[in-house]
Amino acid sequence: MSSGAAKSVKFERMIARIHEALEIANTEVTWNDRIPDPDNPSRGRQIDVSIRNSGHLTIVECRLHKAPQDVKWIEELIGRRQSLGADAVIAVSASGFTEGAMLKAQRYGVITRDLTTLTVEEIRRWGKVSSVVVNHVQFDNPKLILSCGRSSSPFAPNRQALMDLFYETAHRATLEVFDKLCETAAVDIGLHAEDLILGGRQIHYVRLQAAARRIVQRIGTTAVLAYGVAGEIPLSRDALVEEFGEIMNIEHVDSANIMAVDLSAIDQPVNSVFHSAEVTMSMGVTPELRVAYLGEFRPSLELSFSVTLDEQGANA
């Protein structure tokens, strides 16, 4: 998936999450829905977001473009609403709309929503800017000790398989030692292996020895966006969205707070494991958050750790 396509997907999913929080009970909000074409039921039509309640269907189409969206897109949505038999259509543009598009939308009942970046003064009046701390545990000079039975065959492990095994063991160690780490400390932890064949050997036990330390990354809000009716005053809109670069958003909808973390965008130190992200608002309160994870987590690993075979098969 290209960078532009990935950003569009993140944008659509954000709009879906916001509407999940906005809608009343018993409303079904679906991202990337497929609706049967009434004129050709065997063929599904892709919809960015659908909203269903009591037999009523609203379709939501999103655009993440640099330029304001024009009348042509509004006319396309009018046709799509009619073609699919939808009760309503919402046009969401991250960059707003032209005057002609707004007039056309008003005449034909297309609901327009956009995102507006708050000014410094508006952010100050809102007063809920958050700070985020991302926690990792980094493993220095790691050593893997692999217990197995004696064999005359050479040990020739696949590089990626070694990486995966190191990360799995380091992740286990992170969960166990994170709360105890105040400074660099020695870690010696192992786990039993079931049906693990590595480099032609059956591995019974994996042991990780390393110097572990906590890595703390503090991230501030890069922008606050207001989502709602196009042209409406920002601070009176349906939702306010805090952006923290590419890593995450916090979406504030009434009393709901949704943290969307893009795992693929987390900047990880080499040979480290992501542990947690902590959020604190300016008033010193850590809010209740619903967390949504996006993207695929890609550990930053280097094959700099040493590997030793223990052919006695010891597991202690």
What pLDDT, in 10s, does the model give residues 85-119?
Answer: 999 999 999 999 999 999 999 999 999 999 999 99
CA distance 151 to 303: 25
State the DSSP code for 263: G
User: Euclidean distance between the first and final Cα of the chain, in Å?
Assistant: 45
| CATH no. of 3-115 | 3.40.1350.10
Write the DSSP assignment of 143-198 as a string of letters.
EEEEEE---SS-----HHHHHHHHHHHHHHHHHHHGGG-SS-EEEEEEEEEEEEEE
Pair 208, 173: CB distance under 8 Å: yes
State the DSSP code for 42: E
CA distance 117 to 123: 10
CATH 3.40.1350.10 positions along the chain are 3-115
Whether residue 23 has pLDDT greater than 60: yes
Pair 53, 61: CB distance under 8 Å: no
CA distance 131 to 282: 8
For residue 316, the model assigns a pLDDT of 42
**Amino acid letter, 260:** A
265 alpha-carbon distance from chain centroid: 9
Residue written as token pair 């944008």: 11
Percent of the chain with pLDDT over 90: 51
> pTM for this one?
0.82
